[in-house]
Amino acid sequence: MIKGLFIAFILTTGLSSLVSPTEPAAAIQADTLKESLKRGEKVYMANCQSCHMPEGEGIPATFPPLAKSDYLMKDQKRAIGTVLHGLSGEITVNGEKYSMDMPAMSYLSDEEVADVLNYIQNNWGNKAKAVTPAQVKAERKK
Ligand code: HEC
């Protein structure tokens, strides 16, 4: 009986400290993504826009677009790998072929890669589930 009460006490105090009643979980998540996008814009402007252009429109037959890119949006793991390890060989993006090399950007931190992917995947008409630094870390080992 006393043991049961003790467990109930631990459970209620433990849970109430985890779940704050004023901030529902979904709102916290949306806010985190918003912060990630803000950081990601800086990473994009410093490392990507020279080739993919400021609005992600790319350059025809040279640098593929990221805005509404079917290739980018199809496979999130592949997108993480592209930034970390670079990409070479012919690819088709929105029906156009590209075959220049993209350099690896493994000098970016796990958080920077997650932020820049969140920026390009939730901008210019794109929308996707958030990428986490942990996912980037797992992909970096490959
Ligand atoms: C030096 C130019 C250059 C830079 C800088 C660059 N890329 Fe690329 N990127 C390319 C090229 C070229 C390809 C196509 C590679 C191929 O054809 O195999 C590509 C392909 C891609 C693709 C897959 C194709 C698509 O359009 O969906 C993604 C995603 C991508 N880049 C993201 C990024 C991100 C994010 C950054 C910055 C962290 C970046 N790139 C920086 C040249 C660049």
Smallest CA separation from ligand 1 atom 43, residue: 102
Q: Which two tokens mark 13? A: 């105090």
pLDDT in tens, 32-91: 999 999 999 999 999 999 999 999 999 999 999 999 999 999 999 999 999 999 999 999
Structural domains in the chain plus CATH codes: 37-140 (1.10.760.10)
Q: Does the pTM of the predicted model rise above 0.75?
A: yes
Q: What is the pLDDT of residue 17?
A: 53
CA dihedral defined by 85, 90, 91, 93, rounded to 10 degrees? 120
Residue 96, both tokens: 């156009």
Distance 130 CA to ligand 1 centre (A): 19
**103 alpha carbon – ligand 1 mean position (Å):** 8
Which atom of ligand 1 lies nearest, measured to the CA of 108? 38
- Alpha-carbon distances of 53 from 38, 57, 76, rounded to whole Å: 18, 6, 21
84 in contact with ligand 1, CB cutoff 6 A: no
d(CA 59, CA 136): 27
- What distance in Å separates the CA atoms of residue 112 and residue 120, rounded to the nearest whole number? 12
For residue 120, give the nearest of 60, 59, 47, 61 by alpha carbon: 47
